[in-house]
Chain A
Amino acid sequence: MHEELLNAWEETYKKGQLTLWIFLALKEGPKYVNELQETIERFSKGTIRAEEQSLYRTLRKFYHLKMVDFSSGKGHKGPDRKYYHLTPLGQSLLQSFIERNILLFFEDPLKELLLN
């Protein structure tokens, strides 16, 4: 029962989080799609898994809205890859989002409640 409820909660909680994880991974540095996928998994300790197609679609949308841009770079083998990075708009959006929605968890009394 506990596990079932937790899974259901997490499923709902994770909806809408992909953007934050993409932005955080790109804040670390430019990445191609597979690298982005791996970084998101690493950052989230495996709790967030993004499908490659879903990432491509999201990045195309973000590119259209000028939140991310890309430059071509050499792949290890094979053709050139698109290395995505945050644009100034993307960076400022992430910053504002963090200030409004994330940093409050690091302030009392929430911080204390979360840690105890």
Chain B
Amino acid sequence: MKIISRNLLLFAFLLLVYTLLFRFGLGSLLTAEKYGLVALISVLYGGIIFLTAWTTGRRDGRENFLFDAGFRWNMTTYVVWGVASEAWFLLGLHSAHETIRVVHITLLIWGGFLLLHFILFLILRRRTIKGVHKTDIFE
């Protein structure tokens, strides 16, 4: 049973690739003032993250049986997205239409939800024995 599992690492890697592609696409489309496409790639970006998280999370559940109420995936998304976005701005790769303030505000609000998710995980953890959910121990 691993906290940082193979599936989580795969998710983090794919998320990093998606985020860098999204950042590049976002900057290019904003510069070209193609706002309709900005909305489209944002939805695609969100959708593909959801699908990847769903697939890797389910596989991890089958292989790893560690109960975390999805917190590890949420935390990983937060960290990877945050680091990639901050780095994108620090390296000056952003477009003139983007400000780092948006990233900071997003991280702040998301951080609040992440904290709530962590509290929920701590509450639900009472239903586990050594990290395995009681209803998942015996088959």
Nearest-neighbor residue (CB-CB) of A50 within chain B: B139
Q: Is the CB of A19 within 8 A of B139?
A: yes
Q: What secondary structure prevails in chain A residues at the interface with B?
A: helix
Is B97's CB within 8 Å of the partner chain A? no
Chain B residues lying within 8 Å of A19, measured Cβ to Cβ, are 138-139
A79 lies within 8 A of chain B by Cβ: no
Name which of A28-36, A53-61, A69-77 contacts chain B.
A53-61
Given A19-B138, A54-B139: A61 and B65 within 8 A (CB)?
Answer: yes
Also in contact, A64 and B132, with CB within 8 A (given A57-B62, A57-B65) = yes
B129 within 8 Å of A (CB atoms): yes
Q: How far is the CB of A102 from chain B (nearest CB, A)?
A: 15
Establish whether residues B132 and A65, one from each chain, have CB atoms under 8 Å apart when the complex forms.
Answer: yes
Residues of chain B in range 80-139 having any CB-CB distance to chain A below 8 Å: 129-132, 136-139
> Which residues of A (1-58) have their CB < 8 Å from a CB of B?
16, 18-19, 54, 57-58
- In the complex, the chain B residue whose C-beta lies closest to that of A55 is B139
Instruction: Report A-chain residues with C-beta under 8 Å of the C-beta of B130.
Output: 64-65
> Cβ of A58 and Cβ of B139 under 8 Å apart?
yes
**Interface size of A as a range:** 10 to 19
Which chain A residues (64-116) contact chain B, with CB distance < 8 Å?
64-65
Among residues of B, the one whose C-beta sits closest to the C-beta of A93 is B138
Complex Cα–Cα for A65 and B136 (A): 12
Query: Are the C-beta atoms of B139 and A16 separated by less than 8 Å?
Result: yes
**Which residues on the A side are within 8 Å of B137 (C-beta)?**
61, 65
What residues of chain A lie closer than 8 Å to B32, measured between beta carbons? Answer: none
Q: Are B1 and A64 in contact, CB atoms less than 8 angstroms apart?
A: yes
Whether the Cβ atoms of A65 and B139 lie closer than 8 Å is no
List B residues at the A interface (Cβ < 8 Å).
1, 62-63, 65, 129-132, 136-139
What are 17 A-B pairs at a CB distance below 8 A?
Answer: A18-B138, A18-B139, A19-B138, A19-B139, A54-B139, A57-B62, A57-B63, A57-B65, A60-B1, A60-B65, A61-B65, A61-B136, A64-B1, A64-B130, A64-B131, A64-B132, A65-B130
6 A-B pairs closest in CB distance: A19-B138, A18-B139, A61-B65, A64-B1, A58-B139, A65-B130
Extra 10 A-B pairs, beta carbons < 8 Å, given A19-B139, A57-B65, A65-B130: A18-B138, A19-B138, A54-B139, A60-B1, A61-B136, A61-B137, A64-B1, A64-B65, A64-B130, A65-B129
